[in-house]
Every structure is written in structure tokens, then in C-alpha cells.
Amino acid sequence: MSVLGLDLGARSVGVALAEPPSYVAVPLCVLPAQPQASLISELRRLAQERDVKHIAVGLPLQLSGREGDAARACRHLGQAIAKELNCTISYVDERFSSKEAERTLLASGRRRADRRLLRDALAATFILDTYLARSRHR
């Protein structure tokens, strides 16, 4: 059973994957967020190819830790994706995942255009890593 990590955005969705036996989160791809039906179709294809049974979705909480409009929209889309993929879902606080991804890419010396392409997938990797670490401690 594999696990997908998703960084849901208005324009793009970062996707990361962790597969058995190691369950190490790795960046997989970045998909266009719109049209939503195409996004879900592509995620369904990935889930079937990789035997995905669970999805960890980044939840964009406000700095106070409360859920705002973005978090509610994320939960709504996450539930739709989980239903269509027939997977269970967990939400992970993602307040700093994009910033951490950007810092990591800057430190790697990547060009700005390359960083833009990789940032969402790397953010999804951090989200998935957080989920995996949390589930190991349960």
C-alpha cells in the first residue's frame, strides 16, 4: 500500500509518493489544479498504478492555527479526491511547507524557473514526510 502526499494549490498541485517497504517520501510531479475533473482523473491514474490506499493532504492553517477559507476549501477538495480514489485521507498542517521547500531549493543552487517547477512537489514531500513521521509514532 502506497501513500500520496498532496500540496493543493489554486493553480497547481504538488504530488509526493511513499511506497513500501521503506516508505520514504519522494517528490513525484506537479499537476495543474484546473480543471478539477482532470486533476482527479490524473490522481486516480497515479493511485491505481501505485496501489495508493491513503492520501496525506496539506492543510493551510492560519498562523493562529485556525482554519480559514483556504483550509475549508482544501478539506472540501481533499474529501472529493479521497472519495473518487476510494482512499482514506489525513490532513497535515502545512503552514510552512512551501517556505521550507523554497529554502531547500535555494540552498541547492537551483535557478528560479527550476525552483518554481519543483517547489510544489517538494512541499508535498514535506507534507507526506510529516504524516509518515506522525503515523510511525502511533
User: What domain count does the chain have?
Assistant: 1
* Nearest-5° Cα angle at 62, 59 to 63: 120
What percent of the chain has a predicted confidence (pLDDT) above 90?
62
Kindly indicate the confidence band of residue 17, based on its pLDDT and cuts at 50, 70 and 90: very high
Q: How does pLDDT run across 62-114, given as a tens digit for each residue?
A: 888 899 899 999 999 999 999 999 999 999 988 766 667 667 666 766 676 66
Kindly indicate the confidence band of residue 18, based on its pLDDT and cuts at 50, 70 and 90: very high
Please give the pLDDT value at position 113. 64
The burial of 119, by beta-carbon neighbours within 10 Å (0-12 exposed, 13-18 middle, 19 or more buried), is given as buried
Please give the pLDDT value at position 109. 67
Partners of 89 in beta bridges:
55
From CA 8, how far away is CA 58, in angstroms rounded?
7
The 3-state DSSP class for residue 26 equals: strand
Please give the pLDDT value at position 39. 97
Q: Are strands 12-18 and 26-32 parallel, antiparallel or unpaired?
A: antiparallel
CATH number for the domain that contains residue 73: 3.30.420.140
Please give the pLDDT value at position 98. 66
Q: Is the pLDDT of residue 48 over 90?
A: yes
* Nearest-5° Cα angle at 93, 89 to 95: 140
Q: Which structural domain, as residue segments, surrounds residue 35?
A: 2-136
Query: How confident is the prediction for the chain on average, in pLDDT?
Result: 88
Q: Is the pLDDT of residue 118 over 80?
A: no
